[in-house]
A = this chain, B = another copy of it.
Amino acid sequence: MCMVNFDYGRMSRMGFGETVLAEGKTLRDLVEILQAVLEKNAPLLVTRLSASVYQTVLEALPHLAETCHYNEHAGVLRSHREVSLPSPGETPLFKVAIVTAGTSDRCVAEESLETLMHHQIPCTLFGDVGVSGLHRILNIQEKVQAADCVICIAGMDGALASVVGGLFKVPILAVPTSTGYGASGQGQAALSSMLATCANGLSVMNIDNGYGAAMAAVRLRNMLFLKLEDDRGRKILN
């Protein structure tokens, strides 16, 4: 009984392809989808793919290891692509800065990073700059200012987002993480805090949704491409 209905036309319709969320799928369905996408030679992006599930999938589809890159911390599998990161000194069209409150937010940050790289968006990561040592975010303020959009990842109190919101003019994509315990409520405290922020115009994602923040950045890039009638954008958006 077929449950799979992959949306191959999404790239041309939306400016980005369909992503496969591994979590919650039966192994058989997952393998069936990956095989189909690979056979179509379509770009592949899989999220929430645990190391153990990846190993089992690899047994069914051993060529995955050659055509794709797997990042265990991110839980992301993506097809090899030429990622044309800007050479030093050269300014890319659109670039993202990721800031995280703590070292424990690494997995979410890497999910964002891999998703951005899949969409060929250059990105710099500034880890462990939480507000309990305020000098850390102030020290990198100038570097972050070079980005067109800031992804702010924080668990526990989520307070970094409000501070970041007051420091930068560009779009802020705030991602609460499930770091913390007790009243953190698996990310609920950070989520509510980011939604209720005193800073202006923050955009909020679901808890641990590093992927979503990266996709919101892809939409920003889409807007820019459409606006600028940029050649690279034309390839992607038409």
Contact = CB atoms under 8 A, between A and B. Distances in A.
Interface of A: 1-7, 10, 13-16, 18-19, 21, 23-26, 29, 33, 48, 73, 100-107, 109-110, 113, 125, 127-134, 136, 148-149, 155-159, 161-163, 165-167, 169-173, 176, 178-209, 212-220, 222-224, 226-227, 237
Most-contacted residue by chain B among A180, A183, A185 (CB, 10 A) = A183
Given A159-B131, A159-B163, A196-B183, A149 B201 contact: no
Nearest to A14: B169
Contacts of A167: 134
B207 A182 contact: yes
A200 B170 contact: no
A193 B195 contact: no
A83 B223 CA distance: 23
Nearest to A113: B1
B103 A148 contact: no
